[in-house]
Amino acid sequence: MALRFHTLTIAALVCLAACATTTFDSTWKAPDVQAVSPVGKTVVAVFISKNESQRRAGEDALAAALSAHGAHGVPAYTILPDEARTDSAAARAKMKEAGANGVVVMRIVGKDQRVTYTPSYAGPSYYGGFGPYWGYGWGSVYEPGYLQTDELVSVETLVYSLDRDKLLWASTSRTTNPNNINAMVREISDVTGQEMVRQGLLAKSP
> Could you tell me the domains of the chain?
19-120+149-198 (3.40.50)
Which pLDDT value is given to residue 46? 96
| 92-98 contacts at long range (C-beta below 8 A, 24 or more positions apart) | 92/162, 95/44, 95/162, 96/162, 98/42, 98/44, 98/74
DSSP annotation of 200 reads T
Which pLDDT value is given to residue 114? 85
The backbone torsions φ and ψ at residue 78, rounded to the nearest 5 degrees and listed phi first, read -80, -15
Contact 102, 43 (CB under 8 A): yes
Which pLDDT value is given to residue 83? 80
Question: What's the first-to-final CA gap in the chain, in angstroms?
Answer: 58
Which pLDDT value is given to residue 113? 86
Which pLDDT value is given to residue 192? 95
Strand order in the sheet with 102-118: 21-29, 166-176, 146-161, 102-118, 42-48, 72-75
For 158, residues 6+ apart whose C-beta sits below 8 A from its C-beta are 104, 105, 106, 167, 169, 170
User: Which residue ranges in the chain fall short of pLDDT 70?
Assistant: 1-20, 120-132, 135-143, 205-206
Q: Is 4 left (phi over 0), alpha (psi -120 to 50) or beta?
A: alpha
Which pLDDT value is given to residue 41? 95
Which pLDDT value is given to residue 117? 75
